[in-house]
Amino acid sequence: MEFTGDSEGSYNLAAVIEAQEIIIVEGEKDADRLNGLGLVATTNAGGAEKWQGEYNSFLRDKDVVLIPDNDETGKRHIKKIASSLKGVARSIKLIELPDVGDKGDVSDYFELNSPAKLYELIEKRCMKNSIQNI
């Protein structure tokens, strides 16, 4: 899958516009992995901490699930996105993946876990309502 959308590099934009629940990850590899499971995932061009405010309009009134890479940069990246989306997205949920080592990501998670486990994590988090204090 290629970057599609605005000139700055929104990823998987057509699907993001159509979907109600969007998963944001760090990197195309992880977005592709989730998209391949029938979920709608996106990322931004340029890597971690490069989120642009203009991406927010595509996520207005959507349910957003944030899955950071397991490192300080990934966590800062997701916090920046969460802060940017407050008051824009209908809901924002943070999923921290268990069973991934330092710098681990969604793809690493699937080496040890099934997609069903990820769905379970997302559902559990959704039941707890929107994130607070991220």
For residue 22, what is the domain's CATH number?
3.40.1360.10
Tally of structural domains, the chain:
1
Does 84 reside within a domain?
Answer: yes
Does 44 reside within a domain?
Answer: yes
Q: What are phi and psi of 21, to 5 degrees?
A: -115, 125
Q: Where do the DSSP E strands lie in the chain?
A: 21-24, 41-42, 63-66, 91-94
Does 25 reside within a domain?
Answer: yes
Does 5 reside within a domain?
Answer: no
* Gap between the Cα atoms of 24 and 47, Å rounded: 12
pTM for this entry: 0.86
Instruction: Check residue 122 and give its pLDDT.
Output: 84
Domain of residue 31, residue span: 13-127
Lowest mean pLDDT among 8-12, 16-20, 99-103: 8-12
Sequence letter at residue 80: K
Does 6 reside within a domain?
Answer: no
CB atoms within 10 A of CB 71: 16
